């Protein structure tokens, strides 16, 4: 694939470019008001300017809304606008967010939708819990398979494991 591969969206407006740039520099999901505060020096004055830009960036697949945090993140897969399912793993202690997709989960959701005659237009899953850093578990141990305490767990499918693609850290509270 050449670097001149065309994108699936029109050229971004100045406001869209500014908002996407500011969001890409954030270390954690950011609210529209946080983005506005960072962009006032660039001439953005009203929240509606940021919300309009965010709406288009979401439509283009460049930004995701993290519903439970009422905030936004730049997409970890900006050149793959066709991905369907987006999963966010959100640490409730530090705000760390990983974005990934998982084809096995997506197949299950599509299968359920088909079986129940539900027209799925988009899917986002938000997982809340505690990340390995906050849990104190070394990352290598966190990646190792868990040892079952009871009866043997059923064999898992041979689907490839999902890999986190975006890492963000919430800024410490002031």
Kindly report the CATH number that applies to the domain delimited by 14-144+158-168.
1.10.10.10
The string of pLDDT tens digits covering residues 98-131 is: 888 888 998 999 999 999 999 988 888 999 999 9
Mean per-residue pLDDT over the chain, rounded: 78
From first CA to last CA, the distance across the chain in angstroms is 45
For residue 141 the two structure tokens come to 């141990």
Render pLDDT for 65-83 as a digit per residue (tens, 0 to 9): 999 999 999 988 765 555 5
What is the mean predicted confidence (pLDDT) over 132-138?
83
Cβ-based neighbours of 163, under 8 Å, separated by 6 or more: 100
3-state class (DSSP) for residue 144: coil
User: Residue 66: which of 28, 39, 37 has the closest Cα?
Assistant: 28
Max mean pLDDT range (8-12, 106-110, 148-152): 106-110
Compute the distance between CA of residue 1 and CA of residue 90 in angstroms, rounded to an integer.
33
Residues 79-103, mean pLDDT to the nearest whole number: 81
Whole-structure pTM value:
0.67
């Amino acid at each position: 694939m050449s670097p001149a591969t065309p994108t699936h969206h029109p050229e971004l407006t100045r406001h869209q470019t500014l908002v996407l740039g500011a969001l890409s520099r954030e270390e954690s999901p950011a609210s529209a008001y946080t983005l506005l505060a960072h962009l006032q020096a660039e001439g953005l004055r009203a929240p509606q300017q940021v919300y309009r830009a965010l709406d288009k960036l979401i439509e283009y697949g460049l930004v995701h809304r993290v519903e439970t945090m009422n905030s936004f993140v730049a997409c970890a897969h900006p050149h793959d606008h066709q991905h369907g399912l987006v999963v966010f793993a959100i640490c409730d202690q530090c705000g760390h967010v990983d974005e990934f997709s998982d084809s096995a989960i997506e197949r299950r959701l599509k299968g359920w939708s088909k079986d129940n005659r539900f027209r799925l237009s988009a899917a986002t899953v938000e997982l809340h819990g505690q990340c390995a850093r906050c849990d104190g578990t070394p990352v290598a141990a966190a990646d190792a398979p868990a040892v079952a305490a009871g009866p043997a767990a059923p064999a898992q499918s041979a689907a490839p494991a999902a890999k986190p693609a975006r890492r963000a850290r919430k800024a410490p509270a002031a």
